[in-house]
Structure 1
C-alpha cells in the first residue's frame, strides 16, 4: 500500500505560512514607496533602530524601539511598501474611529521576521495615517524570534504573540489586537474604543 503524503505536506505548508517563528523572506527588487515619508514627520532618527542577526545568523532583524523610517528602507521596505499600498481602510469605519482616538496612545510589539507582523504593521500604519493619528503617540517595539526585547518590557505587558497592538486611553489599557485583526484593523480598533467609551 502506497501512502499519500500530499495532505500532510499541504497541512505543514499552511501552518508554516501562518507561523511567526519563520524568518521573513526578503527580495532585492525595487518596491513602491508608501506615499508617506517618515522623515521630517516622526522626529525619529536612524540610530534608534537597532538590528541583530536572527537565530540562524543569516539575516538581520529589528530589535527594540523602532521608528517608521526603518520600514521605509531595505530590506524591510520589500514587505512594508506593497502591503501599505494595497490596504484600503473602510472610509465609513474610519469616520467613526477618528473622533475616538482622542487621548489614545498605541504600543505595538512586532517582529520584523514574523509574517503576521509583516501583514498587519503596514496596515496599522495606513489606518493611523488615514486617521491623521500623531506618530509620536505610536510606539513600536521590535522583538527577537523568542519574543524578547532589549529591556524586558514585553514581560510587563504579558506579550506571548506578535504582532500585539495595545490601545491605551489616558495611559490605561483599553484593549489589544493580538496576532491577527479580524475582520479588519480599523474595525477591531473601533470595537475596542467604543467599548471603552461606555
Structure 2
C-alpha cells in the first residue's frame, strides 16, 4: 500500500470513530436534566441508567424493612445526568424503592447542572455541595443524607438512617 492510501485509510478510521463516539454519547445522555424531574424522564434521558436499574440486586433484608416501614417519609435525590457517580449509585436506590413500593415513602428527583448552581432554590435549601446526595426527611426535618459514594450498598445506608430516626 502506498502512503497516500494509508493516510486516507487512517483518516477514514479516525473520522468514523469520532462520529461513532459522538453518536454513542448522544444516545446515552441526551440532555442535562435540571430541576425536579420524574423517574421516567431520567430513564428516557439515559439508556445506561435503565440498564443499571435493571441489573441492580438490592439486599432482600433492606427491601423487607423498607416495605414494612410506617410513617410518612420524604427522600430527595439530587443527581446529575452528567455525573458518573449519579449514574453508578442512584440506580440502586431507584431499583430498591421500586421493589419496596411503599406509599409512605415519597421520592423527589432533582437534576443539578454541572456547576452545581441550578436549581439554586433547591441547592441552597438543602445545602447541596456534592452530587449525588440523597436527603431523608420526616415532617420537613432532615434526619440524614447519603453523599456521593455510599460506603455500603445505598439501600443499606438508607435503612440505617431510617432505623436511627425510629430510635429517636
Aligned positions of 1:20-99 closer than 5 A: 26=25, 28=27, 60-73=31-44, 76-99=45-68
Q: Kindly name which structure, 1 or 2, has the bigger radius of gyration based on alpha carbons.
A: 2
Give the conservation status (yes or no) of the 8 Å contact 1:83–1:119: yes
Give the root-mean-square deviation of aligned CA atoms: 2.2
Structure 2 CA distance for aligned equivalents of residues 135 and 110 of structure 1: 22
Structure 2 CA distance for aligned equivalents of residues 67 and 123 of structure 1: 16
Between Structure 1 and Structure 2, how many residues are aligned?
143
Give the conservation status (yes or no) of the 8 Å contact 2:133–2:146: yes
Match of 1:106 in 2: 75
Matching residue within 157, 160, 169 for 2:129: 160
Return closer, same or farther for 1:69/1:135 CA change in 2, 3 Å cut-off.
farther
TM-score normalized by structure 2? 0.76
Structure 1 CA distance for aligned equivalents of residues 70 and 99 of structure 2: 12
Deviations 1:20-55 (A, max 9, x none): xxxxx83648xxxxxxxxxxxxxxxxxxxxxxxxxx
- Which of 96-105 and 123-132 deviates more? 96-105
Structure 2 CA distance for aligned equivalents of residues 27 and 150 of structure 1: 23
Match of 1:22 in 2: none
TM-score normalized by structure 1? 0.66
Q: 1:144 and 2:113 equivalent?
A: yes
How far apart are residue 152 of structure 1 and its match? Answer: 2.4
How far apart are residue 178 of structure 1 and its match? Answer: 0.4
Return closer, same or farther for 1:93/1:85 CA change in 2, 3 Å cut-off.
same
Give the conservation status (yes or no) of the 8 Å contact 2:72–2:105: no
Q: Secondary structure at the match of 2:33?
A: strand
Extract unaligned runs of 5+ from structure 2.
Answer: 1-23
Q: 1:133 and 2:94 equivalent?
A: no
